[in-house]
Structure formats: C-alpha cells, structure tokens
Amino acid sequence: MKDLLLIHGWGFGQRVWAPVGEQLARRFRVHLASLPGYGQPLAADTIPAGSTVCGWSLGAQEAMRLALAQPQQVARLVLVGATPRFVRTDDWCHGLPPDVLAAFATAVADDPSLALRRFAALVNHGDDDALATTRKLNSLSGSCLPSPAALLDGLRALRDTDLRPLIGRIVQPTLVVHGEKDELIPVAAARWLADAVGHGRLATMPGRAHAPFLSASKLFADLITEFSLG
C-alpha cells in the first residue's frame, strides 16, 4: 500500500480531509500534515519515501516546496485549487486583487470565526452544491480554530509567495485538480501550472468550485487513485 500525505489549506486544519479520507484510506496509508499554527507540523524528513503528496490551496504551495526540497521522498504530486501566486500583479492576471486579502486580514483581526465562515462561503461560491458544501466545511472547522496570528501569517504567505520561478524545477509527475467553477483561483492559473510543470496534467471537475474534494469526494478520490496507482 502506497503512502499519501494530505496538506490542508488556509483557515481549515486536518479535519477538512475527513469526508474523502475514508475513501482514500482504502487504497493508501494516509498521513495528515498541519501548516504552521494548525497543530504539530509534519517534519519533511519524516515523509515516507515514495509518497504521493497532495496539497490544497495554500497547502498546495507547501506541497510544491516539499517536492523541490525532498525529491527522494515525494514520488508524485497532486495540487488542488492551486496556483503559484495568489495575488494579481502586472505580470500575473490569474490572482486575487490585493485588497481582497487585505480585507480578510482586517476581518480576521475583528472576528476570526466570522471571517472563516465568510471564507467558507467564498471557497464554495459557484459550486453546484455550494450551500451544502459550505455547511460541511463550517462543521469540519467547528471550534478547532487556528489562532488569529496563524491566520494572519497565512494571509501574508498568500500575499507574498511567488513560486513561478521554481515550477520548472519540479521533476515529479504532477496532477493539477481544479474545479471548473472555482471563483477564488481561476482555472487559467491551474492550466498555467500544469503546463509549467514538466510532467504535469490538468484534471478539471465540472460543477465544482475551490474545494472539489468536499463537494465531489468520490470523483476526487478516484482521480488521485488512478493517478497514483494506475
């Protein structure tokens, strides 16, 4: 049985994988990693050799860093709702306007719980099952909220990170999974990413937004299984 490491995104910890985790555990030894401030982080040197590493959103950027830093550990890479750069700039039109992240930083400082509920709605906006998936995401976060400091650190990472110069160095076969209705990160960013990775391919999920593993968990699990084991 192969090893699969899952890395969550901004605002929501390891529990976000629960709806799809049971399905994946039938085919993989599943390991969960925490971003800084969300629990005990998984040390890079403890990742089992030959793992498939799957990251969502901000976690996808961490997955790319792991693939670059630990190529002997990371055999395959799955990037979900991913982008090399979250913020729009003069030379990158596929990102969020900077004032959107600034508004979230203000909201986190005022009321972190409310800010995350609003973010959950934004994550799922446009999804064919937006309301149900938003409720699911909120229930998974529950009372286990990261600290405001961790949330603000994550927003700064989203604002400042630009992995575009490094993408061409990724040597692992890479699957980029993206909801066709993702309104947070446009599909164009995923296309760019899949093209820029030397061994990348794009799998779009019809009717799904930024969290396709929640709104279509079986299809998502099938995609990872086919890519990793096929």
Q: What is the CATH number of the domain that holds 39?
A: 3.40.50.1820
Residue 37 has pLDDT above 90, yes or no: no
Range in 32-36, 40-44, 80-84, 168-172 with the lowest mean pLDDT = 40-44
Q: What is the C-alpha to C-alpha distance for residues 59 and 9, in angstroms, rounded to an integer?
A: 5
Tell me whether residue 57 is one of the annotated catalytic residues: yes
Q: What percent of the chain shows pLDDT beyond 90?
A: 83
H or E segment to which residue 50 belongs:
none
Amino acid letter for position 198: G
* Cα-based distances in Å from 126 to 71, 164, 225: 36, 27, 26
**Do residues 20 and 220 lie in contact, with contact meaning Cβ atoms separated by under 8 Å?**
yes
Strand order from edge to edge, sheet including 51-56: 28-33, 2-7, 51-56, 74-80, 174-179, 200-205
Angle of helix 148-160 relative to helix 112-124, nearest 10 degrees?
40
pLDDT value of residue 45: 65
**Radius of gyration, alpha carbons of the chain:** 16
144-196: per-residue pLDDT in tens?
Answer: 678 889 999 999 999 999 999 999 999 999 999 999 999 999 999 999 999 99
Catalytic one of 210, 215, 217, 228: 210
Catalytic one of 51, 57, 215, 217: 57
> What is the four-CA torsion angle of 80, 214, 53, 229, rounded to 10 degrees?
-100
In our burial notation (b when 16+ CB lie closer than 10 A, e otherwise), range 87-97 reads beeeebebbbe
**Do residues 8 and 56 lie in contact, with contact meaning Cβ atoms separated by under 8 Å?**
yes
Look up residue 115 and give its two tokens. 């800010």
Residue 109 phi, psi dihedral angles, 5° rounding: -65, -35
Which residue in this structure is represented by tokens 């004032």? 99
Tell me whether residue 210 is one of the annotated catalytic residues: yes
pLDDT value of residue 43: 66
User: Of 72, 60, 39, which Cα lies nearest the Cα of 157?
Assistant: 60
Q: What is the count of structural domains for the chain?
A: 1
54-73: per-residue pLDDT in tens?
Answer: 999 999 999 999 999 999 89
Q: Is the pTM of this model over 0.85?
A: yes
Catalytic one of 182, 215, 217, 228: 182
* Cα-based distances in Å from 53 to 32, 135, 175: 10, 27, 10
Domain with 225, as residue range(s), is 2-229
Average predicted confidence (pLDDT) for the chain: 93
DSSP single-letter state for residue 89: B
Which residue in this structure is represented by tokens 């399905």? 23
192-211: per-residue pLDDT in tens?
Answer: 999 999 889 999 999 999 99
Tell me whether residue 182 is one of the annotated catalytic residues: yes
97-126: per-residue pLDDT in tens?
Answer: 999 999 999 999 999 999 999 999 999 999
pLDDT value of residue 143: 59
